[in-house]
Amino acid sequence: MEREIVMGGIGGQGVQLATKILATALNRENRSVMHFAAFGGTMRGGNVECTVVTGTEALAAPPIIPSAWMVISMHPNTVPLVAAKARPGGLFVVNTTLITEPTELEGVNVVEIPASWIAGELDNTQGGAMVLLGAICQATGLVSVEQLVEGLKELTPPYRQKTIPRNTQAFEAGDAFAREHLANFQHQAWALAAA
Amino acid sequence: MGDKQLIDGSKAIAHSAALAGCRFYASYPIQPNSHLIEEMTQELAKIGGVTMNAESEGEAINMVWGAAATGNRAMCSTTVTGMSLMHEAMSEMFAAEVAYVFVHMARGQTEYRVGTRGGGHGEYRYISYAPHTVQEAADLTRLAFYTADKFRTPVMIQADYILTHTVEAMEFHDFDESDLKEKDWAIDGAKGRVPRINSFIRGTYSLGDKSAMAYGELQERAMERIAYLEENVPSLAETGHLDDADLVVISYGYVSRFAKYAVGLLREEGMKIGFVRPITMWPFPKKEVLEAAEKAKALAVFELNNGQMVDDVRLTVLGRVPVHFIGRISQDDSGFGMGKAIEIPNLTAKIRETYEQMKVPA
């Protein structure tokens, strides 16, 4: 089985890094995995859309996919972009700190996470994507938060080592949020594979 | 910890080139080729090789010519317009029988013709590989260096923007090259001996150099070499569902990944559709395409150009079945060959339309 995750945000929110960490964590758990990033010429503030496809077998999906099991929006600018790829029965995860308009999509399960606010409480405003990823991975069992932290360590270059503790903290804060607010989450990533 | 590495297409090509013992690489920046320049700079530095960021495309390819003529493994790369600028030297390098690897980092697929037939002077063809995954990009790069040396001829790899920016779990495999012979043709500085490399510009017979091959002689030799290569270089293709397919979709390179996926979706709806994915664009995989033509009622070629591979498909099936062209030019705003045509809903609609029209009795 395959799971597709599309994450949209704007340049500077760490969407590329977060999805690369997700892909690395999945690879560490020996899942098949593919990552593709589409971004504009703007380094800060331009729309970013990253796709991760993972599965239990060799992947059939191409790098650009029509719809995804989980779409995530970190910023209001990318709500229409990722909503277009939401799938009935799938998940639409929104960063409610920045996306204040209510989100409704027929047949799609909306998951609200105040990711940027939680990150701000940790004095790590840039860590919103990490918080959200920690939360949704804990809730769905997509990949363990421990492997996300390992993926973070693997991808952080030598000159950015000092960011590892605060990004680890962001993953853990997301994990804690999910344990409190998204316990017994219905949409398990690998439920079908295990059955 | 996973067993596989998570890397992108450029890194896969660059690391594979280093594993193949590539000693020299020259290029000139242009996107998406620039990403490969970065990776090659890092990879060749690790093994003591040389990367040159040239002042122009012409300089880059001519430096690679020099390096390859000495028998060292060498690689050049560029994107689309850059290849037009390099074709004078590329034509000469075929005539000169210089073994090297050329990576075309395409934007879309408008260079199928140039990538198989060349765009310069004289008789020549490129052996041309079109990877569709990061794993295949790595594997075909090793094969390209081997094939270039084995047949003493240029080999091209057709990569692209999407492959460059796709990160996948993959692994580097060992490659057996033990049957390769020593390069007795390489230039090694011996003064006074008979020249080992011939080309149009080295000084032709008519200019008084009696050791050089005359133009006609060089062209005749090129023709013999082309025939030999077509006969002896293994053509490669992946096929699927040819047993029961009424319609077979033919597509190459990264685009074939979208086509294969679309075929899979339509088969789930019960449509009898198969696919052929040429891995070598030249020599063209005639056997697989003919097998498709024998069983299917029609073939449909999907490529992001005005129907360049269609020529090779039609020349292979010679009217046995109708060959429909279902591709188009497909560019996104940045011109990197993503565009609407490869979006799965558009692609499935196109294949479905062809399939349904075929089902209507004439």
Could you read off the pLDDT of B305-350 as tens digits, one per residue? 999 999 999 999 999 999 999 999 877 766 776 788 899 999 999 9
B167:A29 CB<8 A: no
pLDDT at A151: 97
Structural tokens at position B140: 């075909």
| Top-tier CATH class for B237-359 | alpha beta
pLDDT at B142: 98
pLDDT at B187: 85
Residue to test with chain A: of B3, B164, B165, B167, most A Cβ within 10 A: B167
Confidence at B360, pLDDT banded by 50, 70, 90: low
pLDDT at A12: 84
A25 close to B (CB below 8 A) = no
Chain A, window 171-190: residues with a beta carbon less than 8 angstroms from a chain B beta carbon: none
pLDDT at B1 over 90: no
Query: What are the two backbone dihedrals, phi and then psi, of residue B82, each rounded to the nearest 5 degrees?
Result: -60, -35
pLDDT at A11: 87
pLDDT at B194: 67
Q: Return d(Cα A31, Cα A22) in angstroms, integer.
A: 11
Structural tokens at position B147: 């094939």
Determine whether A154 is exposed, middle or buried from the number of CB atoms within 10 Å of its CB (0-12, 13-18, 19+): middle
Confidence at A6, pLDDT banded by 50, 70, 90: very high
How many CB atoms sit inside 10 A of residue B184's CB? 8
A34:B167 CB<8 A: yes
Confidence at B214, pLDDT banded by 50, 70, 90: confident
Q: DSSP character for A158?
A: G
Same fold: B5-170 with B237-359: yes
Nearest C-alpha of chain B: how many angstroms from A124?
Answer: 28
pLDDT at B204 over 60: no
Answer yes or no: are the C-beta atoms of A171 and A145 closer than 8 Å.
Answer: yes
In sequence order, which ranges of chain A are alpha helices (DSSP H)?
15-28, 79-83, 115-121, 128-140, 145-155, 164-181, 191-194
Pairing of strands B273-278, B247-250: parallel
Q: Which residues of B touch A36 (CB under 8 A)?
A: 162, 165-167
| Helix (DSSP H) and strand (DSSP E) numbers for chain A | 7, 6
pLDDT, mean over chain A? 93
pLDDT at B190: 64
How many CB atoms sit inside 10 A of residue A171's CB? 27
pLDDT at B211: 60
Determine whether B328 is exposed, middle or buried from the number of CB atoms within 10 Å of its CB (0-12, 13-18, 19+): middle
ipTM: 0.87
B346 close to A (CB below 8 A) = no
pLDDT in tens, A115-173: 999 999 999 999 999 999 999 999 999 999 999 999 999 999 999 999 999 999 999 99
pLDDT at B196: 67
CATH number of A2-183: 3.40.920.10
How many residue pairs from chains A and B have C-beta atoms closer than 8 A?
A: 59
pLDDT at A96: 97
Peptide bond into A114 cis (omega under 30): no
Question: Taking the domains of chain B in order of start, what are their residue ranges?
Answer: 5-170, 237-359
**Looking at residues B353-362, what average pLDDT do you find?**
80
Q: How far from B335 is each of B107, B115, B142, B160, CA to CA, in Å?
A: 7, 19, 29, 12
Q: Return d(Cα A33, Cα A54) in angstroms, integer.
A: 4
pLDDT in tens, B18-50: 999 999 999 999 989 999 999 999 999 999 999
pLDDT at A115: 98
A62:B257 CB<8 A: yes
Q: Return d(Cα A132, Cα A121) in angstroms, integer.
A: 14
Answer yes or no: are the C-beta atoms of A79 and A105 closer than 8 Å.
Answer: no
pLDDT at B35: 94
Confidence at B200, pLDDT banded by 50, 70, 90: low
Q: Which residues of A touch B261 (CB under 8 A)?
A: 60-62
Nearest residue of B to residue A148 by CA position? B1
B261 close to A (CB below 8 A) = yes
pLDDT at A77: 93
pLDDT at B208: 59
How many CB atoms sit inside 10 A of residue A81's CB? 18
Q: For A29-43, A83-97, A147-161, B150-164, which range has the lowest pLDDT when averaged over its residues?
A: A29-43
pLDDT at B201: 57
CATH topology of domain B5-170: Rossmann fold (3.40.50)
Residue with the larger pLDDT of the pair B207 and B41: B41
B343:A66 CB<8 A: yes
**Looking at residues B262-271, what average pLDDT do you find?**
97
Q: Which residues of B touch A64 (CB under 8 A)?
A: 162, 258, 338, 342-343
* This prediction's pTM: 0.92
What's the maximum distance between 2 C-alpha atoms anywhere in chain B?
73
Among A23, A29, A66, the residue with its CB nearest the CB of B6 is A23
Residue B7, C-beta contacts closer than 8 angstroms, at least 6 positions apart:
B15, B134, B167, B168, B170
A64:B258 CB<8 A: yes
Residue to test with chain B: of A5, A16, A22, A35, most B Cβ within 10 A: A35
pLDDT at A45: 79
Nearest C-alpha of chain B: how many angstroms from A97?
Answer: 30
Nearest C-alpha of chain A: how many angstroms from B103?
Answer: 21
Structural tokens at position B232: 């002896």
Percent of chain A beyond pLDDT 70? 96
Q: Return d(Cα B52, Cα B58) in angstroms, integer.
A: 13
pLDDT at B172: 96
Question: Taking the domains of chain A in order of start, what are their residue ranges?
Answer: 2-183
Peptide bond into A165 cis (omega under 30): no
Strands lying side by side in the sheet with A86-95 = A109-113, A86-95, A68-73, A2-10, A47-55, A32-39, B166-170, B5-8
pLDDT in tens, A88-98: 999 999 999 99
Chain B, window 153-172: residues with a beta carbon less than 8 angstroms from a chain A beta carbon: 162, 165-169
